Amino acid sequence: MKASAFVYPWDVNGDPEAPARTAALGITQVTLASAYHSTRALTPRHPRHRIVTAEHAAVLYPPGDRWSGRTLSPYPAGDWAPGDAFGEAAEALADAGLEVHTWVVLAHNSRLGAERPDTSVVNAYGDRYPWAPCIAQPATRAYLIELAAEAAVRPGARGTELESLGWYGLAHLHAHDKTAGVGLGDAGQYLMSLCFCPACRDGYAAEGLDAGELAAAVRDALEPVWRGAACDGGWAGVEKLLGAARAGATRAWRDRTARTLQEAAVAAVRRAAPEGFQVLLHADPVSYHCGANAGVDPAHILSVADGVVVPCTGGAGLLTPFAREGRDGAVLAANFTVVSGMGGSPGTLAADAAEARRLGATELRLYHAGLASDGDLEAVRSALAGR
């Protein structure tokens, strides 16, 4: 199977050995960040630094003139990725024989939420989630679609992977996070991720719901959970908490909102891209799930994009709903964390990849070549050599 490793520009720029070292893993492609959220990242082999702090969500290249006069626009990076950091890294990686695809993070932007709180998801209690732009708002949708096109189609890129192209909710790797004191489960996470901004209130009304009554119902349903009651799992748990009709109406609004955004963003990328440019989405096959791997309907998304990147570190079972669609030529990329310190298991990569192939995977994604230790990278090399 074709394999690609995720890389940041700061893993490559300033380290002349990085491109060859990355190619020596046995991969043929890199997925290189061109628009990324805030992070603090280890660079264990870089000759000039060991920690990079990306202070806010930013594009890792100079943003273009298309943003002039727009309500929302991307933030340029600071000194962690100065100038055309993406372009510099992409050229070095291509010179090492690697095919470069862009890695574009979309609806995940804490600086936007801090500076423009009106753009954020608002839960049933009135709390804003500044990391989560609401994808129902027209200005936010326009911004995300334009960002997808610009950040995806960078010079030298042969394809893109679009992350967070859907709803973001409560779950978030936040600094000093302290939200795990109550076990919300799948159902509680959904209720705490429902948005009640003005655009979503109008959306619920279009589905026959009164937004005020819905918010009150969410709060009532969660009250026993705060006192320690367990939530039933899956969609049945949501229906039990909220009622089947009310739950179905919220899902109809949210699914339609995400689907139309995904369609528009992919179409914008295709208009901007050369022929043969590959467009993949980081995706979860359960449409009501939120986060970096956006919840999607497998049949729908495989009719829109060229394929999906599916999280498989905890097991490759999420591939099955996509494989079941039987779409000829669709890319089903199994994404494995290969950083031991982040819960990955590079030593079992060969067996994990074989299981993923059995379940329908056509490609591998390895997270993350820049973050992994030398020992982790050696395990990856061994696994890929034995494919």
Between 182 and 226, the higher pLDDT residue: 226
Residue 178 pLDDT level (bands cut at 50, 70, 90)? very low
| SS3 label, residue 25 | coil
Mean pLDDT of the chain: 95
DSSP strand pairing (363-367 vs 331-337):
parallel
Q: Mean pLDDT throughout 244-248?
A: 98
Looking at residue 174, its pLDDT comes to 65
Whether pLDDT at 217 is above 90: yes
Q: Mean pLDDT throughout 215-220?
A: 98
Q: What percent of the chain has pLDDT over 90?
A: 92
CA separation for the pair 8, 185 (Å, rounded): 33
Q: What percent of the chain has pLDDT over 70?
A: 97
Looking at residue 216, its pLDDT comes to 98
Between 227 and 165, the higher pLDDT residue: 165
Q: Where are the beta strands (DSSP E) in the chain?
A: 2-7, 29-36, 39-42, 51-54, 58-59, 99-105, 120-122, 128-133, 159-163, 278-284, 294-295, 307-311, 331-337, 363-367
Nearest to 56 by CA among 32, 21, 81: 81
- What type of residue is 175? A
Per the confidence metrics, is the pTM higher than 0.95?
Answer: yes
Looking at residue 182, its pLDDT comes to 53
pLDDT of 41-65, one tens digit each? 999 999 999 999 999 999 999 999 9
pLDDT of 327-369, one tens digit each? 999 999 999 999 999 999 999 999 999 999 999 999 999 999 9
Chain centroid to CA 46: 26
Whether pLDDT at 176 is above 80: no
Nearest to 103 by CA among 125, 81, 123: 81
pLDDT of 257-295, one tens digit each? 999 999 999 999 999 999 999 999 999 999 999 999 999
Whether pLDDT at 181 is above 70: no
CA separation for the pair 365, 311 (Å, rounded): 9
- What type of residue is 277? F
The first and second tokens of residue 190, run together, are 């959904």
Does residue 368 have a cis bond before it (omega within 30 degrees)? yes
Looking at residue 180, its pLDDT comes to 53
Count helices and strands (H / E) in the chain.
Answer: 14, 14
Q: Sort residue 14 into left (φ over 0), alpha (ψ -120 to 50) or beta.
A: left
| SS3 label, residue 119 | helix
Please state, in angstroms and as integers, the Cα–Cα distance from residue 65 to each residue in 69, 73, 74, 90, 151, following that order: 9, 11, 12, 22, 13
- List the domains of the chain with CATH numbers: 2-179+257-385 (3.20.20.80)
